[in-house]
């Protein structure tokens, strides 16, 4: 768990919450999140130090350091992704605390370069680009998803690493236009080499074809609204999002509608399940459930869904204790308010949900609450969580969450 405001990262053993490792002075880039890597490692971008940090969560219990590697990256980090091998990373930059996009820097990283990790920064295009890295590692492509105008832009990772000092401007090796200027949400399916970009009109798909990308038929949201988040479920071979509808005024967020959206990659079946009004954003995936945290003035809750042959169904709604600094009607639900982070592992039944401002993490085993873990910092803004289990296959989703 990370408290990005207080500048701490802690590893807690489950379910008792024993402190297994700790870093201080590390400020996780919350939007880029945690990235699962092979071998049980995890990466995040430190937005203050300007580094990507690779963690070995099980290291301290086996005589290894918690930090396995670091490499310099451009910040503020917006998105973080790896190729399917976990060797090659890419980090895009976003707004940070500014009102408008100002940085066009992209960082390419080789964690297994001779002599240690190597990182190179180049200039691409100002914005808030999403990022994915398509394999194989000896011929990887970095794919940026741009807004205004919408586009997918592919760069050869090896050419980025070979760029000269001084952050030179580089052109994309291949471009593919997107019809919408409002992209938000990215995923990659390593099994097929497809990339997915969530936009207002649907989820646009492209597959790698040699040095370029070929567009495929987009996936519909199957009803009103749109998804602002997109995540691969590697164990169940599905894409998940939360489709938001309702008034455009952010002050009326308690009136927003929210539906869980699930698309089975192998069968093509798409489903939507109502979650209720309020604020729902990120989601977590466990070995049994897809988990969503819903914030609303009438009460917050954890919602657990089970995918199966008969479709996706809601199996539990569990109340969550209120947050003292929760969003209020009439103001935006993301500026100067507390939030909730949520995490799960595809190899375990636990779901963890934070209580921003209170330094608490609520732990559920399946549908039942099992513990409230308390940490010594408040987890302002909700903190950020990742939940890992040995050999859980979480690296099957090679995009930071």
pLDDT in tens, 102-157: 999 999 999 999 999 999 999 999 999 999 999 999 999 999 999 999 999 999 99
Percent of the chain at pLDDT > 90 equals 97
* pLDDT at residue 219 in the model: 98
Question: Residue 210 — very low, low, confident or very high, per pLDDT cuts 50/70/90?
Answer: confident
* pLDDT at residue 309 in the model: 84
d(CA 79, CA 94): 8
* pLDDT at residue 211 in the model: 80
3-state secondary structure at position 209: strand
* pLDDT at residue 7 in the model: 98
* pLDDT at residue 83 in the model: 98
* pLDDT at residue 129 in the model: 97
* pLDDT at residue 310 in the model: 84
% helix, strand, coil for the chain, step of 5:
5, 45, 50
* pLDDT at residue 277 in the model: 98
* pLDDT at residue 328 in the model: 97
* pLDDT at residue 261 in the model: 98
* pLDDT at residue 104 in the model: 97
d(CA 348, CA 154): 35
pTM over 0.95: yes
pLDDT digits (tens, 9 = 90+) for 69-82: 999 999 999 999 99
Range 372-384 average pLDDT: 98
Strand partners, 153: 144, 175
Return the CA Rg of the chain: 20
* pLDDT at residue 308 in the model: 84
Range 308-323 average pLDDT: 95
d(CA 109, CA 112): 9
Whether 144 and 92 have beta carbons less than 8 Å apart is answered as yes
d(CA 132, CA 85): 13
pLDDT digits (tens, 9 = 90+) for 228-270: 999 999 999 999 999 999 999 999 999 999 999 999 999 999 9
Percent of the chain at pLDDT > 70 equals 100
d(CA 399, CA 36): 8
């Amino acid at each position: 768990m990370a408290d990005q405001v207080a500048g701490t990262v802690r590893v807690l053993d489950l379910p008792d919450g024993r402190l297994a490792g700790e870093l201080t002075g590390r400020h996780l880039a919350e939007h880029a999140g945690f990235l699962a890597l092979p071998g049980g490692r995890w990466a995040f971008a430190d937005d203050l130090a300007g580094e990507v940090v690779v963690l070995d969560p099980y290291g301290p219990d086996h005589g290894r350091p918690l930090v396995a590697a670091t490499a310099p990256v451009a910040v503020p980090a917006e998105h973080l992704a790896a190729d399917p091998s976990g060797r090659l990373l890419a980090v895009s930059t976003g707004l940070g605390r500014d009102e408008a996009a100002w940085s066009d820097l992209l960082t390419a990283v080789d964690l297994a370069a001779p002599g240690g990790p190597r990182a190179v920064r180049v200039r691409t295009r100002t914005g808030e680009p999403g990022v994915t890295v398509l394999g194989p590692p000896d011929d990887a492509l970095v794919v940026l998803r741009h807004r205004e105008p919408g586009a997918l832009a592919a760069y050869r990772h090896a050419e980025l690493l070979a760029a000269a000092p001084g952050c030179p401007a580089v052109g994309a090796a291949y471009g593919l236009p997107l019809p919408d200027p409002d992209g938000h949400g990215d995923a990659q399916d390593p099994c097929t080499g497809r990339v997915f970009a969530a936009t207002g009109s649907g989820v646009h798909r492209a597959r790698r074809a040699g040095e370029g990308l070929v567009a495929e038929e987009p996936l519909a949201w199957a009803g009103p609204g749109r998804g602002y988040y997109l995540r691969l479920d590697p164990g169940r071979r599905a894409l998940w999002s939360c489709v938001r509808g309702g008034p455009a005024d952010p002050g009326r967020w308690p009136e927003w509608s929210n539906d869980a959206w699930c698309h089975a990659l192998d069968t093509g079946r798409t489903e939507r399940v109502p979650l209720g009004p309020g604020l729902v954003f990120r989601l977590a995936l466990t070995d049994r459930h897809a988990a969503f945290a819903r914030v609303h003035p009438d009460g917050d809750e954890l919602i657990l869904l089970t995918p199966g042959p008969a479709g996706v169904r809601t199996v539990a709604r569990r109340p969550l204790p209120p947050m003292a600094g929760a969003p209020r009607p009439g103001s935006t639900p993301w500026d100067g308010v507390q939030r909730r982070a949520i995490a799960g592992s595809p190899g375990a039944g636990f779901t963890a949900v934070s209580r921003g401002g209170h330094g608490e993490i609520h732990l559920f085993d399946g549908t039942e609450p099992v513990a409230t873990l308390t940490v010594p910092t408040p987890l302002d803004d909700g903190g950020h969580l990742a939940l890992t289990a040995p050999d859980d296959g979480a690296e099957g989703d090679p995009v930071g969450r």
